[in-house]
Chain A
C-alpha cells in the first residue's frame, strides 16, 4: 500500500502540486488514521494535507480521480490496490487452469494467457495487466513516444509469445477457437494501450510540459504556428510572473552608508545637537519608466505582439509604460493595450497601423513631433524592429536625439546579427546611438532582454 501511495505522490507532483517530503509524511500519517475504506474521506484527506491552494486542490482532485480509476470499470475490487492485486494475481494463476478446463475443454494444453482470455475473467485479466505493468515499471513513462515500448513490454510480461505459439497451433487444429482468441487478444491490446495512456497522463504530464515549454522558449517567435500562439501567450505570462516575483519585492534597503549630516543635525536639535538619532543617506530607487516603439509590419508583428504582452503584464514592476506601434506611421497604443484583452488589442492595432511597409524615418518623425516630451532622463526607450526601412531616409538624427534625452536606448532586433546591414537594413547606422543592441527572436531572448532592462533600475 505504501508503494501505491508513493506512486500517487509522484503522479500528484506531475499534476503540478508541489509536495515536500514533510507533506507526504503528514499525508501518510493522516491516511493511517482514516484508512482506505471510504474513498471520499480518503480524497478529502489528501486534499487537506497535500494541496495548499485552490488550484492545487483542483489539480489534486482530478489526479486522484484519474489515479484510482482503472481503465476497466467492470473490475471495482482492483481500485488501485496493488497488494490485493498481487494476492489475487497469484490466486488467479493457480485457479485458472481449473476454471478454464471447467469452462472449455478445448483450452487444454494452452498457455496461461490464452486460458485467461478464453475464460473472459475480467478481474483476473486486469490483475494480470496491473502486475505486468508494475513489472515493466510503467510509472517510469515520461514521453508519449514511449507508449509503444511500454505496451510491448507489458504484453511481453503477460506472455504474449506463448499466446502467439498457441495461436499458430490452433489455426491448424481449431480455427474457431483461434478466431475467438484473436479477438480476445485485440481486446487485450486495447486495454493495455488504455492503461499505458492513463499512466502517461499521470506520470508524464510534467515532463511533457517542460519539454514543450523548452522547445517553445527557443522557437523563433515570428515563425510559430497559429495553434502554438495560445501556448506562447501562456508562456509569456509565466515569464511575466517570474520577472514580477524577482523585481517587485523591495530589496532590503541598505541602511548604513553615508551619514546624512543635515538631517541628523535637524533631527537632534531637541537634544542640543547631541546626535542621539542618526539619519543615513538613502539611495533613491525609481521604478522603470519605459517607452516602447514597436514595428508591427510583416514578420516583426508577431514578436511585437508578445513583447507588448510581456511589458504590459509587468504592472507591479514597471511604473509607467507608454507603447507606440508603427509601420508606415506611428500611433500610441497604451490605452488600447490596457483596456482590452491581448487578442482584441492586437487586432485593433493591426487594423490601424499594421501590414504597411515600414518607414522608420517617418515613424520617428511622428514620434518626435508629438511625444518627444514623454522621454525623461529616467526613461528607457525600447525600439523593437528589424530596421528595414525600404531604402527610405532612416532619420538616424532623431534616434540620436531620443538617445540623448533618455536614460537608455535599447534596440531589440528579431533578425540574426548576420543579417544586420545587409540589403535595406539600417541597423549599423542606428546601433551607434543605442546603449544596447540585442537580438530578440525567441521567448528566451525576450525574457533576458526585459529582465536586463528592469534590472538596470534596481
Chain B
C-alpha cells in the first residue's frame, strides 16, 4: 500500500502548482492528488478571494490542459450549461432538404413504404450535428481531458445541482434524443462555493470537500513573494503580519489573499521602503472594502504597525 510513496507525489503536486505561481498548502495539494487518483470532483469552499478559482487555473496550466469554465448564476439552466438544439439550423436544413425528401420517397407506392424508407435514414435531424455543446458537454468531449471549473455553484438554483449529479459521479450526461454521452477522458472537476446557501447532501457526497481558509503567515508570505516579486523581504513580512492583525478584528469583510496581493502591488508602486503610518492610512482602502471597516481599523493602525515591525525583528 505504502510503496507508492504518496508524500512524494503530493510534493510533486505542490511544486507543480508552485511553478504556475500558486502556492498551495499541504491540504490543497493532497486534495488535488486525491482528486486525480480516485477521480472525484473537488468542492472548494471558503471566503471570497482566497484563490478558489485560481486553483483551477493553476491545475489547468500545470497539466497543460484546457480549462472550461461554467459561471453559475440564478436561473442557469440546462440549455445554457449542457447543450441546446440549433433550432434555426434544423429548420433551415428541413427547408433545403424538402425537395430531396420528395425524391427519396417518390419511389414508395404506399404511405407505409414511405414511412419505412424514412426510418432507414435514422434520426437525421436529431444528430450531433444539431447539438450546440455548452460548457458541461464540451468538457466531456475534450479528447485530452480538461479542467472543468464550475464557479460559484451556490449561486445557482437547487434544481441545477441535480443536473450536475450525473456528470459528477459518472462523468456522463444523458441527452434524451441522443442517448448517453460518456466522457472521452474524465475531466478534473473543480466546484467552488462561497457558502451563500447550503449545498445538497447528494452533491457534497460526490465530491472531496476542501475548505480553503485564510493562509498562515508563512504561507501568505510565500504567496506574496511569488505573485509580487519586486517586494522587499522586510516590507513583505510587515505587511503580512499587519494583515493578520487586521483579520482578528470584527469586520464586515475581512481582507483575503487577493487583497493582500493588491496591497503589496500598491506598496511596491508607491516605493514604500517599509510599513509607515501615513502610507497605511492612505492605502487602507485597497485592503478594506467598506467604510465602516476602515473606520473600525483606523484607530488600531499604529498598534498593528508597531506589532508588525516588532515581529519582524524577532521573527
By a beta-carbon cutoff of 8 Å, the part of chain A in contact with chain B is 20, 22-23, 26, 29-30, 32-38, 40-41, 44-45, 47-49, 51-54, 57
Contact = CB atoms under 8 A, between A and B. Distances in A.
B238 interface: no
Interface string B26-47: 1100110110011010000100
A20 B34 CA distance: 19
Nearest to B36: A33
A48 B30 contact: yes
A51 B30 CA distance: 15
Contacts of B3: 35
A40 B11 CA distance: 13
B249 to A, nearest CB: 21
A40 B26 contact: yes
Given A34-B30, A34-B34, A41-B6, 8 more contacts: A20-B205, A33-B38, A34-B10, A37-B7, A41-B26, A44-B27, A49-B209, A57-B209
Nearest to B35: A48
A18 to B, nearest CB: 8
A48 B6 contact: no
14 contacts: A26-B38, A30-B37, A30-B38, A34-B33, A35-B2, A35-B3, A36-B2, A41-B6, A41-B30, A48-B34, A49-B209, A51-B209, A54-B45, A57-B209
Nearest to B3: A35
Interface string B189-201: 0000000000001
A23 B30 CA distance: 17
A185 to B, nearest CB: 39
B261 to A, nearest CB: 25
Interface of B: 1-4, 6-7, 10, 26-27, 30-31, 33-34, 37-38, 40, 45, 201, 204-205, 208-211
A23 B210 contact: no
B30 A44 contact: yes
A33 B37 contact: yes
A48 B10 CA distance: 14
B38 A34 contact: no
A35 to B, nearest CB: 4
B1 A48 contact: no
A52 B4 CA distance: 27
Given A33-B6, A41-B10, A48-B27, A54 B1 contact: no
Given A32-B1, A35-B4, A41-B10, A54 B38 contact: no
A47 B27 contact: yes
Main secondary structure of the interface of B (DSSP, over half): helix
A37 B38 contact: no
Give the most central of A34, A47, A54: most B CB within 10 Å.
Answer: A34
Nearest to B29: A44
Nearest to A50: B209
B23 to A, nearest CB: 17
A41 B31 CA distance: 10
B152 to A, nearest CB: 18
Contacts of A49: 34, 208-209
Contact of A52 (B10, B31, B204): B204
A49 B30 CA distance: 11
A400 to B, nearest CB: 46
Nearest to B207: A52
Nearest to B210: A48
Give the most central of B1, B40, B209, B211: most A CB within 10 Å.
Answer: B209
A36 B208 contact: no
Contact of A35 (B1, B33, B205): B1
B211 A33 contact: no
B3 to A, nearest CB: 8
A147 B30 CA distance: 39
A23 B43 CA distance: 14
A321 B4 CA distance: 62
A286 B162 CA distance: 30
Contacts of B209: 48-49, 51-53, 57
Given A47-B27, A49-B208, A38 B6 contact: yes
Nearest to B199: A52
Given A20-B205, A48-B210, A52-B209, A34 B6 contact: yes
B40 A26 contact: yes
Contacts of B201: 52
Contacts of A52: 201, 204-205, 209
A29 to B, nearest CB: 5
Contacts of A32: 1
Contacts of B7: 37-38, 41
A45 B34 contact: yes
A31 to B, nearest CB: 8
Contacts of A45: 30, 34
B31 A48 contact: yes
A29 B38 contact: yes
A36 B211 CA distance: 23
A97 B154 CA distance: 65
Contacts of A40: 26
Nearest to A28: B38
B209 to A, nearest CB: 5
Across chains A and B, which 9 residue pairs bring their CB atoms closest together, nearest first?
A35-B2, A34-B6, A33-B37, A52-B204, A44-B30, A37-B2, A48-B208, A52-B209, A35-B1
A33 B4 contact: yes
B26 A44 contact: yes
Contacts of A51: 209
B4 A22 contact: no
B260 to A, nearest CB: 22
Contacts of A30: 34, 37-38
Nearest to B43: A52
B204 A33 contact: no
Contacts of A53: 209
A30 B33 CA distance: 10
Contacts of A44: 26-27, 30-31
Nearest to B169: A22
B169 to A, nearest CB: 9
A40 B6 CA distance: 12
A57 B2 CA distance: 25
